[in-house]
Amino acid sequence: MTQKPRSVKPAVLAAAALASLLALTACSGGANADDGGDAGLKVVATTTQLTDFASEVGGDDIELTGLLAPNASAHHFDPSPADLLALGEADVLIVNGADLESFVDDAVDASGFDGTIITAADGIDLDEAKHITAEGAATDEHEHEHAGDAEHADEADHDHDHADEAEHDHDHGDVNPHIWTSPKNAVGMVTEIADGLAAADADHAGDYEQRAASYTERLQELDTWIAAQFERVPADERVLVSGHDSLRYYLHDYGIEFAGSILPSFEDNAEPSAAEIDALVASIEEHGVRAVFVESSMSPKLAQTIADEAGVEVVDSENLYADSLGAPDSDGATYIGATVHNTELILDAWGAQVDAVPDSLQG
Phi/psi for 33 (5° steps) reads: -75, 145
Quick check: 269 pLDDT over 80? no
CB 90 within 8 A of CB 130: no
CB 174 within 8 A of CB 134: yes
CB 100 within 8 A of CB 185: no
pTM: 0.83
Instruction: Report the b/e string of 253-266 with b at 16+ CB within 10 A.
Output: bbebebbbbbbbbb
* Three-state DSSP state, 159: helix
CB 312 within 8 A of CB 289: yes
Greatest alpha-carbon span in the chain: 67
* Tens digit of each residue's pLDDT (9 = 90 or more) over 115-152: 999 999 999 999 999 999 998 655 555 444 544 554 44
Residues with Cβ within 8 Å of residue 343, at least 6 apart in sequence: 226, 229, 230, 354
Cα–Cα distance measured from residue 112 to residue 352, given in angstroms and rounded to the nearest whole number: 52
The predicted model gives 346-360 an average pLDDT of 95
Sign of CA dihedral 177, 181, 182, 185: positive
pLDDT of residue 225: 98
pLDDT confidence of 346, banded at 50, 70, 90? very high
Quick check: 165 pLDDT over 80? no
DSSP 223: H
Sign of CA dihedral 315, 320, 322, 328: positive
Cα–Cα distance measured from residue 185 to residue 250, given in angstroms and rounded to the nearest whole number: 9
pLDDT confidence of 1, banded at 50, 70, 90? very low
**Can you give the three-state secondary structure of 25-60, one letter per residue?**
CCCCCCCCCCCCCCCCEEEEECCHHHHHHHHHHHHH
Phi/psi for 37 (5° steps) reads: 60, -130
pLDDT of residue 140: 54
Radius of gyration of the chain (CA): 21
Looking at residue 243, its amino acid is G
pLDDT of residue 173: 74
* Tens digit of each residue's pLDDT (9 = 90 or more) over 324-336: 999 999 999 999 9
| Nearest to 183, CA basis, from 297, 338, 16, 17 | 338
- Calculate what percentage of the chain has a pLDDT beyond 70: 77
Cα–Cα distance measured from residue 342 to residue 293, given in angstroms and rounded to the nearest whole number: 10
pLDDT confidence of 267, banded at 50, 70, 90? low
